[in-house]
A and B are shown apart, each in its own frame.
Chain A
Amino acid sequence: MGTIEQFVLHVRRADTPFYAAIKRFAVRFTHFRIRFPGFWIAAIRAHHWICHIVRVLWMRGCVLLYREPLFRSHCETIGDGLYLELLPILKGTPRIAVGDNVRISGELTIECASGQPAAQIQIGDHVFIGHQVLINVKRRVVIDAHALIAGNCILDDSADSPNPAECGVLHIGRGAWLGRGCLVTGAVRIGEGAIVGAGSVVMSDIPPFAIAAGNPARVVRQMQSTS
């Protein structure tokens, strides 16, 4: 370890009162704050807003000219009103069908084991897919209309079985809602209008209009269908 790193380590640990004094000084130095006049705050706020607008316009331009046509060319069928933020990452060549008014925010990753041309993903109308969702498909993943899939969810129809013949269909029913960070694994059927709590691990079927949560997910409440 070099002398500078050794010195920094001594200061970080505040080994002796000498190093503690240096650390106190360093903390005061890093927390040093300038009292800015009002025009500076106004200027940086304006700069921040302009940067924000430019960034949003740039992103919309990228989506319009590059990402959306590219993703459309990967899909077998795709409806109107698709909202994209980033280009979905495709590994392998699954057959993708997307409905109307689908919203995919942030990075969607679709993984498909190599040499599985029969793998199929079906996304219905008005589906919302959150930030950094991972769909791992070996045979078939079906997401029905109006389903909400929150950020950081993982959908995996294989349950770690290497053979696609053993994999079933992962089905998410109409209007079902997966909370943030859910893991759905295996040939699971999540019923219509069901709600899965945040961070749950779903390994078995969930009946329609049930609220399920936990690891492994259990039904905690049953609702009546209202519509």
Chain B
Amino acid sequence: MNALVSAPRRWVSVVGALEVFRHYINTVWDRVAIALYREPLFRSQCISVGRNLSLRSLPIVIGQVGIRIGDDVRICGALVIGCAKTCDQPILSLGNNITIGDHVVIHSNREVIIEDGVVLGPNCFVTDSNEHPLDYGRRIAGEPCRLDELRSIRIRRGAVIGRRCTILRGVEIGECAIVLAGSTITATVPPNAIVGGNPAQQIGHVDVGAEPEEDHRGHD
């Protein structure tokens, strides 16, 4: 009985050690792949990139989007940046200290501007066009959107966008606004507002009197 119990225990510890070892090997391999391959490749696809860009997987860039990225931008996982062939030089501008979650899709056909300190949650979808024409005949003919149907998007400083949000064309999200998870934003969000729902409506207000606590902790 003793032998029967001790053998699986030894086995479990071997498996656990192997798993930890595999994890460390994977992490190191990932860091090497990022440093030698993914980051320089993504940098070569951008117009300008600041210091301390943090990547996991290689962002997918479809079309000739002019990408400008500030300092301390964190892209946590898969990111797709796309454009249709409507505009000659679409712009995607990311400010400093931005966090972008996993599986985010940004379609910039004219201009998407994300300012400093914005947090964009996982599975968000940002587009500055309708993707297809609203007109029935043109849609069936498979035509793309016209230039005058595009509306730029601007996400102001310090806004927080929750998980699974959809941001439609022409939206401006005000400074330090909070968008709750799963919302569809169709209209401009005022500064310091808390909005949520589909379509997103204002349901609260951020208390701007409170000062943020100072401590010695750095960001991740």
Q: Are B41 and A44 within 8 A (Cβ)?
A: yes
Cβ-neighbour of B135 out of A17, A30, A226 (below 8 A): A226
Q: Are B139 and A20 within 8 A (Cβ)?
A: no
Q: Are A45 and B198 within 8 A (Cβ)?
A: no
Q: Are A197 and B184 within 8 A (Cβ)?
A: yes
How many residues from B make CB contacts under 8 Å with A? Answer: 35
Closest to A201 in B: B198
Tell me what chain B mostly uses at the interface: helix, strand, loop, or mixed.
Answer: loop
Contacts of B135 in A (CB 8 A): 223, 226
Closest to A5 in B: B20
Contacts of B131 in A (CB 8 A): 150
Stretch at the interface among B32-40, B83-91, B112-120, B153-161: B32-40
Measured between C-beta atoms, what is the minimum distance from A25 to chain B in Å?
A: 10
Q: Are A175 and B41 within 8 A (Cβ)?
A: no
Measured between C-beta atoms, what is the minimum distance from A146 to chain B in Å?
A: 5
Measured between C-beta atoms, what is the minimum distance from A160 to chain B in Å?
A: 20
Q: Are A199 and B216 within 8 A (Cβ)?
A: no
Q: Is A165 an interface residue (CB 8 A)?
A: no
Contacts of A91 in B (CB 8 A): none
Q: Is B63 an interface residue (CB 8 A)?
A: no
Closest to A220 in B: B199
**Total A-B pairs, Cβ < 8 A:** 90
Cβ-neighbour of B199 out of A34, A177, A213, A225 (below 8 A): A213
Measured between C-beta atoms, what is the minimum distance from B13 to chain A in Å?
A: 12
Q: How far apart are the CA atoms of A150 and B139 in the complex, in Å?
A: 14
Q: Is A82 an interface residue (CB 8 A)?
A: no
Cβ-neighbour of B218 out of A27, A33, A146, A227 (below 8 A): A27
Q: How far apart are the CA atoms of A12 and B41 in the complex, in Å?
A: 29
From A17, A181, A198, name the one whose CB has the most chain B CB atoms within 10 angstroms: A198
Q: Are A199 and B197 within 8 A (Cβ)?
A: no
Interface residues of A in 24-68 (CB under 8 A from B): 24, 27, 30-34, 36, 40-41, 44-45, 48
Q: Is B136 an interface residue (CB 8 A)?
A: yes
**A residues in contact (CB < 8 Å) with B:** 12-14, 17, 20, 23-24, 27, 30-34, 36, 40-41, 44-45, 48, 126, 146, 148, 150, 175, 177, 180-181, 193, 195, 197-201, 209, 211, 213-215, 223, 225-227
